[in-house]
Amino acid sequence: MPIKKPRMSVTPLGDSALIVTLGAGPDPATVQRVRALAVALERAQIPGISDVVPAYATVAVFYDPVRTVGPEPIPYERMCRAVLRCAAVARVNARRLPRRTLSDRLVEIPVCYGGELGPDLEDVARHTGLTTQQVISRHSKVEYTVLAIGFSPGFPYLGGLPDKLSTPRRVTPRQFVPMGSVGIGGDQTGVYPLSTPGGWNLIGRTPSTLFRAEESPPALLSMGDRVRFRPITPEEFALWK
């Protein structure tokens, strides 16, 4: 049976994981609570936890049932109690989170928009009724928040895309999307850290590397980070590369 607290619910995900839901959607306050709980769980080093995955309004906690500790007879119940205790310590349910839980990290990502590097920019412009320059201006003048990392290693799902730029994904996905491609999919934008298939509308490309397997952490961005895109010229892109 789900264990609930105000603005929080804990439910099982199979027999070795659980999902903590902290809100109805990824509004700024919920994103910060998700980030705060994820950081607290990682620092607490609770016996049995193998992975903590924050995304949107939830935190997934994966664990080894054999290694959980506590007086409760069922491993899931033991893990629930441990997670809720950690949430209380992190003040995840507090009306105002401590300042130290908030992300002050702003990452600037250079982008060369349009042309061969952004083959769908004109399609996005036609769909939105804007010029290509207006699309670039609106896309690069706002601040985004990393709502989740997924799909491929280091791929950031970014919230904060201006409503006017919302564009449905391509009807037919590409079999190959170059590394560094910046795309729009629905009401989100993102960057392809690796060359993979993909169905988002490609409006530009960054010379920055978002994922290096040999580094720790391997991904440039993490959930809760803030992101801004900075337009660069094709010449700057070539020099950067």
pLDDT tens series, the chain, 241 aa:
455 444 789 999 999 999 999 988 888 888 888 988 998 999 899 999 999 999 999 999 999 999 998 888 999 999 999 999 988 877 765 455 544 444 568 999 999 999 999 999 999 999 999 999 999 999 999 999 999 998 899 999 999 999 999 999 999 999 999 999 999 999 999 999 999 999 999 999 999 999 999 988 899 999 989 999 999 999 999 998 6
- Among 101, 133, 157, identify where a domain stops: 101
Cis peptide bond upstream of 217, omega within 30: yes
CA distance 47 to 50: 9
Domain boundary among 41, 73, 101: 101
The strand pair at 106-113 and 226-231 is best described as parallel
Query: In angstroms, rounded to a whole number, what is the distance separating the alpha carbons of residues 135 and 223?
Result: 25
Question: Are 96 and 124 in the same domain?
Answer: no
Question: Do 226 and 156 touch, CB atoms closer than 8 A?
Answer: no
CA distances from 135 to 41, 116, 121, 141, 226 (A): 40, 16, 8, 10, 20
State yes or no: cis peptide before 98, omega within 30 of 0. no
Residues 52 and 129 placed together within one structural domain of the fold: no
What domain range is 46 assigned to? Answer: 3-101
Number of domains the chain contains = 2
128 and 227: one domain?
yes
DSSP 8-state symbol, 167:
B
